[in-house]
């Protein structure tokens, strides 16, 4: 029966639904983190392509300006290969990977503990603080007066403060949920997430303390540089690698509907990772003031990280038993398998790069960036793609079977990452060899331009993959039918 709304009396009108400013719906913070992360991926890969173009044409593509502002005075802006490469790595790690990691932690934890996330609004606060801090820190990298010199996490103090607040918020939400569940032996992903969250917050706080020390008490430059190098490595081994492993341990059994093949193997991989990730960070302490044997011990830690990664891949490979056909179509399983392949490759390359003779050859060349891309754009990005493929329909509550856009996302990112990483690694080897022979600068640049051209093309493709992810999320939300999924909606009773 048709109803004329003008004739409705007040008591016939549906009650007004008041929407709080900060949503508290289950998974809302995880959804926000994932969407923002996807946008950051486009920015990061775009910056990466610009960086490689700047390496190809260093004189033509270097923009330095100075503005005379009324209150601040003279403010310089430097847009060159060094600042853009730093922007690329920071946007990749703190923009895309960290947002995706927070999304994975906040989505997976309630499902493994059986308790709804406690402190959804606190997690929202973390999301706002993290992304504001990352954006401000990224902008600061281009201002020589306040920019750090390293590749990662040398943001101005206010940006550091915002990002620490964010880490504290997500830690609070995670630990309150885990402790409320009172599980005697939580699933292995929770162990990975817990240590990754605590260690990354500690490392980041150490970096911020060094920044404060340099600003207020003139802390020695060498000490500050050593702390920054340690923090950057610890963030890679504890934060990015830890959450990647934890996410894969969740996605593969869920997507295959198989149980985890071996809890013993999984827990051993966690124990080894927990010890070796910290040892590996010590390898970044390269200075005459640090005993040589200590640095070498750290390098051995980097080599031994092969063990937990191999155990993880073996466990998940056994978990896939009987479900290998899922790899033939684009989905969470095929994305996770690509992530595992990149994980093995990047860990082996990092182990090779930690050898003394190799370090002597490729130190300061494109090698480090190439090896790092295999881990960040390869292993971690595909692990979070697999997570997004599994989790996004559940976050948006949509019935979604994928589109050709998902295929494009997979292939563009896969081809782009392989091209960029291998080209940069090749460039690093060629660069190091020519430097050792004392080749003139023109000859070095002439040879490297071909490698760099391939790398620029690869990073452009990854950016296209990021656009496909954003497009997939948009289409999923706007066009797919609503669906209900099993989800955790139980809040523990008071005192529980």
Partner 1 sequence: MTVPTPIEVQSRSLPGWAIGLTVLVFLVGGVYLAGNLTGENPPILAAPSASGSGAPNIEQAARQIIAKAQPPCTACHGEDLAGQGNFPTLHGIAEGAVMDNLKQLSADHPDNWANLWIDGTGPEVKGIDRGGMPQFGQQLTPDEIATIVDYLKTLP
Nearer to partner 1, 225 or 462 (CB): 225
Q: Which residue has 């270097």 as its token pair?
A: 62
- Which two three-digit tokens encode residue 173? 């939400």
Rounded least distance, CB 286 to partner 1, Å: 5
Q: Which of 219, 274, 352, 488 binds partner 1 (CB under 8 A)?
A: 488
Nearer to partner 1, 112 or 199 (CB): 112
Q: Is 411 exposed, middle or buried (0-12, 13-18, 19+ CB in 10 A)?
A: middle
Region near partner 1 per CB under 8 A, out of 282-290, 326-334, 384-392, 457-465: 282-290
| Residues 420 and 459 sit within 8 Å (Cβ to Cβ) | yes
Rounded least distance, CB 154 to partner 1, Å: 12
* Helix (H/G/I), strand (E/B), else coil: 66: strand
Rounded least distance, CB 76 to partner 1, Å: 16
Please state, in angstroms and as integers, the Cα–Cα distance from residue 464 to each residue in 49, 79, 90, 173, 469, following that order. 11, 23, 19, 34, 9
Angle at alpha carbon of residue 89, lines to 123 and 349, rounded to 5°: 110
Nearer to partner 1, 2 or 293 (CB): 293
Rounded least distance, CB 471 to partner 1, Å: 29
Rounded least distance, CB 367 to partner 1, Å: 8
Angle at alpha carbon of residue 261, lines to 395 and 322, rounded to 5°: 80
Window 288 to 347, contacts with partner 1 (CB under 8 A): 288, 290, 292-293, 295-297, 300, 303-304, 306-307, 310-311, 314
Nearer to partner 1, 38 or 229 (CB): 229
The interface mask with partner 1, positions 406-425, x = CB under 8 A, is ------------------x-
For residue 250, the surrounding DSSP H or E stretch is helix 241-256
Window 181 to 210, contacts with partner 1 (CB under 8 A): 187
426 binds partner 1 (CB under 8 A): no
| Residues 92 and 48 sit within 8 Å (Cβ to Cβ) | yes
Nearer to partner 1, 244 or 452 (CB): 452
From 125, 105, 109, select the one nearest 488 (Cα to Cα).
109
For the stretch 54-58, contacts whose Cβ atoms lie closer than 8 Å and that sit 24 or more positions apart, written own/partner, are 54/80, 54/81, 54/84, 55/81, 55/366, 55/448, 55/452, 56/449, 56/452, 56/453, 56/456
Beta strands per DSSP E along 272-333: none
The interface mask with partner 1, positions 355-394, x = CB under 8 A, is xx------xxxx-xx-------------------------
d(CA 386, CA 382): 6
Window 55 to 94, contacts with partner 1 (CB under 8 A): 55, 58, 80-82, 85-86
151 binds partner 1 (CB under 8 A): yes
Angle between helices 28-56 and 404-436 (to 10 degrees): 40
Nearer to partner 1, 474 or 485 (CB): 485
Window 89 to 128, contacts with partner 1 (CB under 8 A): 111-112, 114
Nearer to partner 1, 201 or 448 (CB): 448
Rounded least distance, CB 310 to partner 1, Å: 7
Window 20 to 59, contacts with partner 1 (CB under 8 A): 51, 54-55, 58
Q: Which of 30, 123, 272, 343 binds partner 1 (CB under 8 A)?
A: 272
| DSSP 8-state assignment for residue 286 | -
150 binds partner 1 (CB under 8 A): yes
Concatenated DSSP letters of 229-244: HHHHHHIIIIIIHHHH
Task: Using CB under 8 A, count the residues that bind partner 1.
Answer: 76
């Amino acid at each position: 029966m048709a109803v004329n709304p003008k004739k409705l009396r007040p008591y016939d009108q549906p009650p007004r639904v008041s929407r709080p400013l900060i949503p508290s719906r289950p998974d809302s913070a995880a959804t926000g983190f994932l969407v923002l992360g996807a946008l950051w991926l486009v920015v990061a890969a775009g910056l990466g392509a610009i960086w490689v173009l700047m390496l190809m044409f260093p004189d033509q593509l270097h923009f330095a300006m100075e503005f005379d502002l009324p209150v601040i005075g003279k403010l310089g802006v430097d847009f060159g290969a060094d600042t853009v490469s730093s922007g690329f790595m920071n946007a990749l790690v703190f923009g895309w990977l960290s947002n995706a990691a927070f999304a994975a932690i906040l989505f997976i934890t309630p499902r493994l503990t059986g308790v709804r996330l406690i402190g959804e609004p606190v997690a929202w606060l973390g999301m706002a603080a993290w992304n504001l801090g990352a954006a401000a820190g990224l902008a600061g990298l281009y201002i020589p007066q306040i920019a750090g010199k390293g590749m990662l996490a040398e943001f101005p103090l206010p940006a550091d403060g915002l990002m620490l607040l964010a880490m504290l918020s997500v830690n609070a939400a995670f630990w309150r949920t885990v402790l409320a569940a009172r599980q005697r032996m939580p699933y292995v992903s929770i162990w990975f997430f817990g240590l990754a969250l605590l260690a990354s917050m500690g490392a980041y706080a150490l970096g911020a303390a060094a920044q404060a020390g340099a600003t207020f008490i003139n802390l020695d430059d060498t000490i500050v540089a050593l702390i920054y190098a340690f923090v950057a490595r610890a963030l890679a081994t504890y934060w990015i690698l830890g959450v990647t492993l934890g996410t894969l341990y969740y996605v593969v059994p869920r997507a295959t509907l198989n149980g985890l093949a071996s809890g013993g193997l999984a827990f051993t991989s966690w124990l080894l990772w927990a010890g070796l990730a910290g040892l590996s960070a010590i390898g970044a302490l390269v200075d005459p003031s640090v005993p040589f044997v200590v640095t070498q011990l750290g390098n051995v830690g980097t080599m031994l990280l092969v063990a937990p990664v191999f155990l993880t891949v073996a466990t998940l490979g056994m978990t896939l038993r009987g479900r290998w056909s899922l790899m033939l179509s684009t989905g969470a399983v095929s994305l996770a398998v690509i992530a595992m392949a990149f994980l093995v490759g990047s860990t082996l390359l990092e182990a090779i790069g930690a050898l003394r003779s190799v370090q002597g050859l490729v130190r300061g060349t494109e090698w480090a960036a190439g090896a790092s891309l295999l881990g960040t754009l390869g292993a971690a990005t595909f692990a979070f793609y697999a997570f997004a493929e599994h989790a996004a329909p559940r976050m948006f509550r949509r019935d979604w079977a994928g589109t050709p856009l998902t295929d494009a996302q997979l292939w563009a990112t896969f081809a782009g990452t392989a091209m960029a990483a291998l080209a940069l690694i090749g460039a690093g080897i060629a660069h190091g060899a020519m430097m050792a022979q004392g080749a003139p600068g023109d000859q070095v640049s002439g040879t490297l331009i071909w490698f760099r051209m391939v790398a620029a093309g690869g990073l452009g493709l990854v950016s296209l993959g990021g656009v496909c992810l954003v497009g997939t999320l948009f289409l999923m939300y706007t066009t797919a039918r609503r669906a209900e999924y099993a989800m955790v909606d139980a809040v523990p009773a008071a005192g529980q």
